[in-house]
Chain A
């Protein structure tokens, strides 16, 4: 994903009605409360800081372009960032396939640390990433959203889950992650 060009000057011709000050204030509040958390979630999900920053920024830009707040802005931001992330991943894998004829392609994540990379910190990071990557997307997202302090209601809305079963799903996801992490000790 390309880095964004510097933001255009706001005094240029504005295609949207001028945002009301209350909307703008609420936008700033949402940014302050959620930007860092969403960035951490997307970065943990993707392992790509640039991609994470890009999709979270894009989610906020989309929110601003709406000109008014959705019913549950936190869940809306999460859903939009997740969708952008999925789209980017899909586009990228398609691009890799097109760039690389099938006989040449072999792309996978985190399985090739050379000896110089095998410090314990990096090794541990690699194991955490591998353990997360093995989980189904829903469990991964659930754990990461909860780790950032999102409430059951917000998580249920963002991931389209039944709110009454979020606790059970969280317990299962955490168990699955721990088993997956233990499994990385013996991975090649």
Chain B
């Protein structure tokens, strides 16, 4: 920041960053390394950083393990994630448009109410939500508990955080665009669909990305709603596997963890800018 370069200060910053970043990277490297070792080498003393021999077969073993059933877990997780992403981008953008672009009585009151709901954490409502899903299941004849439905259904009714983010974005689009379209006979929904949505791809990408990550990571939701291992998501499946067979085969457990992490890391490198922008805007007023 200072105009004259300060070589000594720069050196100190660089060394501090090197040490700290090494600390942040070591767990990752150790996980990778363990995942490629034979079982007895995981117990080698002193610890071995470069596996010898390298055993990529650990990954095959994990993918084919019948007790873990990785393909099924992945399918379930993807289903929840994709349905959540679809539902929340559609519904949240619709609601955000109403808040951002239509001036009606009570708009700001309802918006304030919506912001307040962001304060209510999931653990607080998980008990009654469970009974609501049970009631809905009993009264519609479609069982909901013990299925994946409770995990994605609420996202089809807009989520406060996403609505908030999209509203902020929609506010930045010039009102003149809407007025011009209105003069051309475009309905409010037409403006939303043909003008505002296409212009909002970056914001929609942020919403989609974070919803996907949330669904991929969620542990408490599946723990509460799922009963049958055939319905388990990756998070729940991995935990069950660890609690039943873990504590011994660290190489396989680390390989499974790497497999769970890798799609997320891949997404990050594909959409780095979207990630950083999304997080940065959450911190803004």
**Are A and B interaction partners?**
no
Show the binding face of A for B, using Cβ within 8 Å.
none
Show the binding face of B for A, using Cβ within 8 Å.
none
